[in-house]
Amino acid sequence: MLKKAISVIKYVLTLGLAGVLLYFAFRNVDLEEFWAKASEVDYTWVILSIILSLVSYYARAYRWNILMKPLGYPQLNSFRTLLAVLVGYLANLAFPRLGEITRCGMMKRSDDVHVSTSLGTVISERIIDMFTLLFLIAVALVMEYDRFIALLQDVFSGLGDATDLAWKAALVLGVGGILGLLLLYFLYQKVEKVRDFLNELIRGLLSLKEVQNVSGFILSTVVLWVTYYFMSYLIVFSIPETADLPWSAGVMLLVSGGIALAIPVQGGIGTYHALISSMLVLYAVERTTGVFLATLLHTSQIVAVAVFGGVALIISLFINKHKEKNATK
């Protein structure tokens, strides 16, 4: 009962935060003009972006396989892993970060991959993505320094008023983190199931050390992020007001969107709209147009996840569990 209550509270809080951010994103928007722009959209670019998203999903599945195979699961194939990735993205629409657990559960069902092991590899994946995003932020700083700094100043303009609150939050998180680690250490020493789970999790975390197909891992990471870039930049051409934006604006779109989606708000709702629209203003794009493009970008991604994730969920129901025994058995 307590777990359900906590889940409900988290769900309500994330939805509430998303609603607040959406309000700030849309507060100065002319809604009549906003809806009128829908008739001006060349949806060919939007459809191309949605189709292109399949490349990013496959690249992520292929890279995930590279991490898991050396850990005792040589039978993995990219199609089954792709289904797990797509269903995971679908779950993220319901609750932030639920998708990571869901796709690990899918791999347990289809290929008997230990959840703790696959979860460790997912965390490794996220660490790689975080460093990739940091690299792209550095690139954006070099290419568009003035605009990027202006974006940060706009987004975090009220940070100075919340300095004291930030320190208190940091203190609470720090103390909570230390107490959590002490509890885990106690459970690790005393409870065998917890010890086994953490050992598998750590093994998954260290999966990068055991990667055999290094070139495939690097190439799939590059393909993944290049695809993300074009998924955003193609939609720029769908409306007349943004069709002339330079390719460097695509880098800013990618970075701004990456930062927005990294914030644990359900489906990036609100955060994505606020950051993207604020970024577009720096390219002399009128606020209503900026919010409209941000909505179009975000909606196209949700449609892609809903369609492909829904199809993957249906297919996964008809796929039998892999019969081959793992090398770790």
Q: Mean pLDDT, to the nearest integer, of 204-221?
A: 85
**For the residues 61-68, what does the mean pLDDT come to?**
93
The closest alpha carbon to 57, from 88, 97, 101, belongs to 88
Looking at residue 30, its pLDDT comes to: 52
Q: Residue 74: which residues within 8 A CB-CB, separation 6 or more? A: 327
pLDDT digits (tens, 9 = 90+) for 129-183: 989 999 998 998 888 888 888 887 776 665 444 445 445 555 665 666 677 767 7
**Residue 12: both structure tokens together:** 């309500």
d(CA 83, CA 61): 8
pTM: 0.78
Between CA 165 and CA 234 the distance in angstroms is: 40
Q: What is the DSSP letter of 96?
A: T
Angle between helices 78-94 and 43-68 (to 10 degrees): 120
Cα torsion for 87, 311, 56, 288, to the nearest 10°?
A: -90
Per-residue pLDDT averaged across 290-296, rounded? 88
**Rounded-to-integer distance, Cα 53 and Cα 321, Å:** 27
Q: Which tokens belong to 326?
A: 């793992």
- Nearest CA to 309 out of 61, 82, 138 is that of 82
More confident residue, 50 or 29: 50
The pLDDT of residue 63: 95
Question: Do residues 30 and 288 make contact, with C-beta atoms less than 8 angstroms apart?
Answer: yes
The CA-CA-CA angle for residues 11, 14, 16, to 5°, reads 105
- Lowest average pLDDT, out of 24-28, 42-46, 296-300, 303-307, goes to 24-28
Q: pLDDT tens digits, residue range 11-36?
A: 555 555 455 545 444 555 555 556 66
Q: Rounded to whole angstroms, how far apart are CA atoms 244 and 328? A: 55
Q: Find out whether 185 and 101 touch, Cβ atoms under 8 Å.
A: no
Confidence (pLDDT) at 328: 40
Q: By mean pLDDT, which of 18-32, 207-221, 279-293 is the weakest? A: 18-32
For helices 115-143 and 192-205, the axis angle rounded to 10 degrees is 40
Token pair 């993207």 is found at: 276
Q: Render pLDDT for 98-129 as a digit per residue (tens, 0 to 9).
A: 888 899 999 998 888 888 888 888 988 888 89
Tokens describing residue 193: 């199931």
| Cα–Cα distance measured from residue 99 to residue 60, given in angstroms and rounded to the nearest whole number | 14
